[in-house]
Amino acid sequence: MKKVVITGMGIVSPVGTGVEYAWKNLLDGKSGVRKITEFDVSDVASQIAGMPKRGTEPGDYNPDSVIDPREQRKMEKTIMYALVAADEAIKDAGLTDYTGDKNRIGVSVGSGVGGLSTISENDVVIMKEGPRFVSPFFVPKSVVNMPAGHISIKYGFGGPNIAMATACATGAHSIGEGAEIIKRGDADIMICGGTEAAACRLGVIGFAAMRALSGRNDEPEKASRPWDKDRDGFVIGEGAGILVLEEYEHAKARGAKIYAEVAGFGMCADAYHITAPAPEGAGGKRAMQIALEKAGMKPTDVDYINAHGTSTGLGDLGELVAVKSLFDKNKTCMSSTKSMTGHLLGAAGAIEAVFSVLAIRDNIVPPTINLENPIDEVGDFNLVPNKAQKRKVDVALSNSFGFGGTNATLILKRVK
């Protein structure tokens, strides 16, 4: 069986653009959630989001550094986020001047929602001005597979090109399936991850109508509070996470830096409800068990879990119950980085895979901030409250669960 490793990473997130900037802010417990100023939310119950800061300072999201401003008019933010994160990951992996067969490099980058703001904007144009005024770039900007397509076109990667759309499990599924493509020999390298830009007026109104979002508008940084008794919903976020996956012997042969191995991947369905998790997190538990089996590991092998942990009532409880039923509280800790980033939907699993790899690299786990009054079910399980913890991390597990009852679990481990 081929071994798949991670040789490059890139990120655009509410806590920073650039892997090291985002990681430092996470470890410092800094929130990227703020009041929405990009569009009118005065009539919406939730008025906050985790948004990448656009600018030219280090750590800012600056698409001009990667994409010609004239080309940006043809692109949705989902595409631009993905291209900026991919550019960092590809450079990090040492693939900028790659001289091998680029038809053996593929792309697996998806989005949970796709170009929602473009769809919304063009619908307004149709209603106000008529069909003749719709942008000819409307469809190429908004369909889900365009971030993957643009990455392939920009870098000349002619291998498999796919785009998952599995709600909040998209990023993790994209990475897991990218690894499977390499294992079956269809590519040597896969550029994998997720991207999302659903924090537009329509997106916020839609999730608010479900009563899924936090209404803690006066304290944005404290709004995302997984496992806290005072949680009142998730905070929508935007960004992208991209990882370069590579067949181990191929990576060694070209002298690539190796971060970690993708050791296990589990996926399944709750087959229960369109938005609520199965009782006691049964589907998520099954995904974790499948990933452990694929990795040839026992629960006691796992040092750290990056939780789905969205700050919702049923979701937080179900995942916690499932984790406590599988893992040893004396060996395994768990935190939710969504407490700082908000929920990046289709990009969440990808940025959280990056954070899990960094926990392995640095032997430190990021905190769950705003965990001030834990729900009773937490007991003495270590959810890394409010401050990062130094601890040995050889194996990290990352969970991503989505609407429709879709579940994905990644297991990442140190390469020794």
90 pLDDT exceeds 90?
A: yes
Which part of the chain has CATH 3.40.47.10?
A: 4-260, 268-413
11 has which bridge partners? 241
Among the residue ranges 30-44, 119-133, 338-352, 356-370, the one predicted with the least confidence is 119-133
For residue range 263-291, what is the model confidence (pLDDT) as tens digits?
A: 999 999 999 999 999 999 999 999 999 99
236/348 Cα distance (integer angstroms): 11
Q: What Cα–Cα distance (Å) separates residue 224 from each residue in 32, 62, 140, 209, 306?
A: 10, 26, 34, 18, 15
pLDDT band at 401 (very low <50, low <70, confident <90, very high): very high
Nearest residue to 104 via CA among 194, 181, 2, 192: 181
Q: What is the mean pLDDT of residues 119-125?
A: 90
Q: Which residues have a catalytic role annotated?
A: 168, 308, 343
261/400 Cα distance (integer angstroms): 18
For residue range 104-115, what is the model confidence (pLDDT) as tens digits?
A: 999 999 999 999
**CB-neighbour burial class of residue 170 (10 A; exposed 0-12, middle 13-18, buried 19+):** buried
What's the pLDDT at 296?
A: 98
Locus of tokens 């005024």: 133
325/345 Cα distance (integer angstroms): 26
E strands within 291-403?
304-306, 333-335, 364-365, 389-390, 395-402
**CB-neighbour burial class of residue 379 (10 A; exposed 0-12, middle 13-18, buried 19+):** exposed
What's the pLDDT at 1?
A: 81
Q: What is the mean pLDDT of residues 389-410?
A: 98
Q: Are the C-beta atoms of 82 and 193 separated by less than 8 Å?
A: yes
What's the pLDDT at 278?
A: 95
Cα distance from N-terminal residue to C-terminal residue, the chain: 18
345/113 Cα distance (integer angstroms): 8
What's the pLDDT at 237?
A: 98
For residue range 11-20, what is the model confidence (pLDDT) as tens digits?
A: 999 999 999 9
For the chain, the average pLDDT equals: 97
Phi, psi of 192 (to 5 degrees): -130, 150
Quick one: angle between helices 146-155 and 77-92, nearest 10? 40
184 pLDDT exceeds 90?
A: yes
What's the pLDDT at 151?
A: 98
What's the pLDDT at 212?
A: 96
Tell me the two tokens of residue 33: 């959630």
Q: What is the CATH number of domain 268-413?
A: 3.40.47.10
Produce one character per residue of 229-241: b if its CB has 16 or more CB atoms within 10 Å, e if not.
Answer: eebbbbbbbbbbb
Q: What is the pTM of this model?
A: 0.97
Phi, psi of 306 (to 5 degrees): -90, 105
309/332 Cα distance (integer angstroms): 16
Domain 4-260 part of CATH 3.40.47.10: yes
Q: What is the mean pLDDT of residues 136-151?
A: 95
Q: Are the C-beta atoms of 92 and 10 separated by less than 8 Å?
A: yes
52/62 Cα distance (integer angstroms): 10
Tell me the two tokens of residue 200: 């537009």
Produce one character per residue of 293-311: b if its CB has 16 or more CB atoms within 10 Å, e if not.
Answer: eebebebebbbbbbbbbbb
Among the residue ranges 128-142, 150-164, 247-261, the one predicted with the least confidence is 128-142
For residue range 67-87, what is the model confidence (pLDDT) as tens digits?
A: 999 999 999 999 999 999 999
For residue range 203-252, what is the model confidence (pLDDT) as tens digits?
A: 999 999 999 999 999 999 999 999 999 999 999 999 999 999 999 999 99
For residue range 287-336, what is the model confidence (pLDDT) as tens digits?
A: 999 999 999 999 999 999 999 999 999 999 999 999 999 999 999 999 99
416 pLDDT exceeds 90?
A: no
For residue range 18-68, what is the model confidence (pLDDT) as tens digits?
A: 999 999 999 999 999 999 999 999 999 999 999 999 999 999 999 999 999
Q: What Cα–Cα distance (Å) separates residue 238 from each residue in 13, 81, 235, 243?
A: 7, 9, 10, 17
What's the pLDDT at 268?
A: 98
